[in-house]
Chain A
Amino acid sequence: MLAYYFQLGLRSLRRNPALTALMVMAIGFGVAASMITYSVFRAVSGNPIPGKSAQLFTPQIDSWGPQQNLKGEPAEALGYIDAMALMRAHEAKRQTLLYPVQLSVMPGGNRDLPLNANGYAVTADFFTMFEVPFRYGSGWGAQDDDTRASDVVISSELNQKLFAGANSVGRALNLGGHDYRVVGVASHWNPRPRFYDLFTTSGFADEPDIYMVFNRALDLQMRTGGRNSCRGSLAYTTWQGYLQSNCVWITPWVELDSPAEVASYRSFLTHYAADQRLAGRFDWAANVRLRDVMQWLDYEHVVPPESRISLAVALGFFLICLVNTIGLLLAKFMRRAGEIGVRRALGATRGEIYTQYLVEAATVGLAGGVLGLLLTATGVSGVGILFQPEIAKLAQLDFSLVGLTFVVAIVATVLAAFYPAWRAAHVQPAWQLKSS
């Protein structure tokens, strides 16, 4: 019977080609606008580390005080003193400190120019906490942190450039004039948004090339390659002076597995801040935060407002397209009241009329879905003119987006058709006889 309805639907759609085209276009454009903006939104609002996002926390400690902090909120990163104190206290199962470093690979072999290599100074737990996948080797161990080893983990891309993709574990590397040893080659790993460094990045930077030992970076007096935020008067002229200043530039992360651990870490933070007051370093009450990954993404407004506005406007646009479709379907169906009356007189039940018109609408939805898919594909590839390149390239037409486009087009159209079809099904069967 569905095939019969489908056949009838096609016939009816062919009868008013202009009207059909209008409905198909409305659905197509509406669904495409929604899908394009949604594909971007989905990419920027996703959970970058689904398995562990609830176990990873970034501690914040207010070292600036109520006069200078961020409207009551502590700074979004730590200064050297607090960062090292957290590390030494070792109150969490795993913990890491990190900051961006900007390095260069010195010329060698057949390269006569240095090569840019950006990355992070991190501690050993970084790799296990964030589940960094390795192609060769692994991260370094805690003892390498202590011995301030010249170990590095490099990305597959850098490994390709420098070692032609071969297993480079154990090979030497000169970065900015210092020698390092490769201990691991990470497989492609670039969680988006880059939850672990939202202090410097907006969350969508290119994959880092290199990870080096945090303590080694300090020894080399490497200034952060990322953001640095300070308060009050600054007058440091040496590395030590900088470390002791109130500038914040280090992002700490801890892994806490249970609510009990979270509570106990939170109380540790509070006690730490309170102790700093007692020691005379702070002259304000403890003001600390402990946000997990999703809370942190939210707090840092990782989703650009443009993405939300676009999505909202696109959904509004789709809604209007649907209202438009409801009106046109209503007109179309009611114009066939005569035919409906005859069918009812010949024994069609209400349900059968209802189904017939819903199938007709679904056919429009299907056609709208096809058009929508074409427009979405075009739009997703051309989305570069609408969003910044680093965000635009996240929008991808994958299998789930294709499926979603169709499902949304058809479901939305069928929903839009409920009322017109209901009206059609309630045409009185006697209508024909009386009207002649």
Chain B
Amino acid sequence: MNIQIRPILTALRRHKAGTLLIALQIALTLAIVCNALFIIHQRLTNLSVTSGVDEANVFVIANMWGDVGQSTAQVDAQVRADLLALRQLPAALDATPASGYPLRGGGWDNFVTMTPDQTKPTTDAAVYTGDEHFIGTLGLRLVAGRNFHPDEVMVMGTQQAITPSTAIVSKALADRLFPDGNALGKSFYAMGTTPSTIVGIVDPLHRQGVDQWSNGYAGQALIWPLRADDSRGIYYIVRAKPGQLADAMREAPKALYAQSRLRIIDPKDGIQDYATIRHKVYDRDRGLAILMGIISVVLLAITAAGIVGLTSFWVGQRRKQIGVRRALGARQRDILAYFLTENFLISATGVVLGAVLAIAFNLWTVTRFEMDRMSMAYVGAGVLVLLLLGQGATFAPALRASRVSPVEATRSV
């Protein structure tokens, strides 16, 4: 099989516009598809980050108080009673009060410093509050130190900023504050005048938010032994016995209303299991990934169809020419090779231009939306996909061309 490039180039010069359009289409498709793949991969990575929570069995109740004028002592009494009731549910394993929970979609965050008068913070941590049941209820893995003692747990009223003297931190935070790995027993300041000493380390523990800005603080969280008895409301996190999540979610509000009816648990989203919580918090990521996926697939299909269409037309236009070549001794595979080579030359031009466009588009999103730089692997993969797509799309019309009978040469028009 002898493939001659020069005659192909000469022929292409007579179809300048068509050639240019296919190359342009391939270039733009490459630019969009590379970036779309990159975005999809990035967002799917976000989706699969572990929270540290025993997500299969845990659910959260957002409980608001009907009477917002209660004193802290009144609220605390009610919270204790509620927790007792929740822990006694046949389907429940454990329960904890909380002011927020992992993947909530934002919440309490404190700067962390090593000294009380340090103005530039060392880092930032998500703040969780709970009692000695917090770790057990969420199913967090304690990798060092100990859990809170019941008598360590303090009460924090609505108007109070209280800094407990002990804290359990996530391994990510411990490592950030004490890179030498001996965080246990050390202390830090989290916007308080007094320090908190690290008594335990859990791993992993996701933050409350999944926002772009917090990526630099991924997995950094601290837990304070506090019952946040806010007069407006509180979260109860409940862990069901394995396989009894649905039962527990049904029993829990009944038990709470039996304690007191002066509370609001939104019938729509007052009680959420972790599947729902995770689904909601990653709405944006999943949505964008789906949209990019749809666009990529349709785009590749349209580009392929466009190549098939144009190549078919060229073949149709050159039937007589092909017939003459065949009459002069060209074999079927010579004709096939001719068209495949032709497409390869066009596609190659397209992907070179496309690679430049893809990188330019990525840089634009980097500066405009603070997105990450795309790795060259995406461009490489995209180039490969489009070259294969081009060859695949050309194959059918080229095959048809190769089957043109030499008789065509003798027919007029």
Chain A positions within 8 Å of B, measured between CB atoms, are 18-19, 22, 25-26, 29, 33, 37, 67-68, 102-104, 106-107, 112-116, 176-178, 220-223, 225, 230-239, 241-242, 245, 304-306, 308-310, 313-314, 316-317, 319-321, 323-324, 326-328, 330-332, 334-335, 338, 385-389, 419, 423, 435-436
Whether the Cβ atoms of B159 and A324 lie closer than 8 Å is no
Whether the Cβ atoms of B39 and A309 lie closer than 8 Å is yes
Whether the Cβ atoms of B264 and A114 lie closer than 8 Å is yes
Partner of B313, one of A104, A331, A419: A331
Q: Contacts A104-B68, A106-B66, A230-B191 known; list 15 others, CB within 8 Å.
A: A18-B309, A116-B266, A220-B69, A222-B68, A237-B157, A238-B159, A238-B160, A245-B161, A306-B284, A309-B365, A323-B24, A335-B316, A385-B286, A388-B283, A388-B284
27 contacts between A and B (CB under 8 A): A102-B64, A102-B233, A103-B68, A107-B261, A107-B262, A113-B264, A177-B68, A230-B191, A231-B191, A233-B193, A236-B160, A237-B159, A306-B288, A309-B288, A309-B369, A313-B35, A317-B298, A319-B28, A320-B32, A320-B299, A324-B306, A326-B21, A327-B309, A330-B18, A389-B283, A419-B17, A435-B413
Whether the Cβ atoms of A106 and B67 lie closer than 8 Å is yes
Chain A: CB-nearest residue to B121: A68
Whether the Cβ atoms of B66 and A313 lie closer than 8 Å is no
CA distance A193 to B159 in the complex (A): 31
Whether the Cβ atoms of A310 and B232 lie closer than 8 Å is no
Whether the Cβ atoms of A112 and B284 lie closer than 8 Å is no
B291 within 8 A of A: yes
CA distance A238 to B162 in the complex (A): 11
Partner of A25, one of B161, B286, B302, B314: B302
Chain B nearest CB: distance from A352 CB in Å? 22
Residues of A within 8 A of B286 (CB): 385
Whether the Cβ atoms of A327 and B22 lie closer than 8 Å is yes
Number of A-B contacts (CB under 8 A): 192
Whether the Cβ atoms of A317 and B32 lie closer than 8 Å is yes
Residues of A within 8 A of B266 (CB): 116
B221 within 8 A of A: no
Partner of B25, one of A33, A310, A327: A327
Whether the Cβ atoms of B295 and A327 lie closer than 8 Å is no
Which positions 292-307 of chain B face chain A at CB distance < 8 Å? 292, 295, 298-299, 302-303, 305-306
CA distance A313 to B233 in the complex (A): 43
CA distance A310 to B305 in the complex (A): 24
B259 within 8 A of A: no
**Nearest 7 A/B pairs, CB to CB:** A114-B66, A176-B68, A331-B313, A234-B161, A386-B287, A327-B21, A324-B306
B368 within 8 A of A: yes
Whether the Cβ atoms of A335 and B313 lie closer than 8 Å is yes
Whether the Cβ atoms of B21 and A304 lie closer than 8 Å is no
Chain A: CB-nearest residue to B161: A234
Chain A nearest CB: distance from B355 CB in Å? 15
Residues of A within 8 A of B409 (CB): none
Whether the Cβ atoms of B192 and A235 lie closer than 8 Å is yes
Residues of B within 8 A of A222 (CB): 68
In the complex with contacts A176-B67, A177-B67, A310-B291, A331-B18 CB distance below 8 A: yes
Q: How many residues of chain B get a CB closer than 8 Å to chain A's CBs?
A: 72
B86 within 8 A of A: no
Chain A: CB-nearest residue to B231: A223
Whether the Cβ atoms of B283 and A313 lie closer than 8 Å is no
Chain B nearest CB: distance from A49 CB in Å? 26
Residues of A within 8 A of B412 (CB): 436
In the complex with contacts A233-B192, A335-B316, A324-B283 CB distance below 8 A: no
Whether the Cβ atoms of A235 and B295 lie closer than 8 Å is no
B65 within 8 A of A: yes
Residues of B within 8 A of A310 (CB): 288, 291
Whether the Cβ atoms of B64 and A308 lie closer than 8 Å is no
Residues of A within 8 A of B303 (CB): 320, 324
Chain A nearest CB: distance from B256 CB in Å? 12
Residues of B within 8 A of A308 (CB): 368-369
Chain A nearest CB: distance from B321 CB in Å? 14
In the complex with contacts A223-B159, A331-B310, A68-B119 CB distance below 8 A: yes
B172 within 8 A of A: no
Chain B nearest CB: distance from A334 CB in Å? 8
B158 within 8 A of A: yes
Whether the Cβ atoms of A313 and B68 lie closer than 8 Å is no
B31 within 8 A of A: yes
Residues of A within 8 A of B28 (CB): 316, 319-320, 323
Partner of A107, one of B66, B119, B306, B317: B66
CA distance A233 to B233 in the complex (A): 25
Whether the Cβ atoms of A239 and B159 lie closer than 8 Å is yes
Chain A: CB-nearest residue to B22: A327
Whether the Cβ atoms of A113 and B159 lie closer than 8 Å is no
Whether the Cβ atoms of B158 and A223 lie closer than 8 Å is yes
CA distance A319 to B27 in the complex (A): 12
B141 within 8 A of A: no
Partner of B261, one of A18, A113, A225, A313: A113
Residues of A within 8 A of B317 (CB): 334-335
Per-position 1/0 for B310-331, Cβ under 8 A of A: 1001101100000000000000
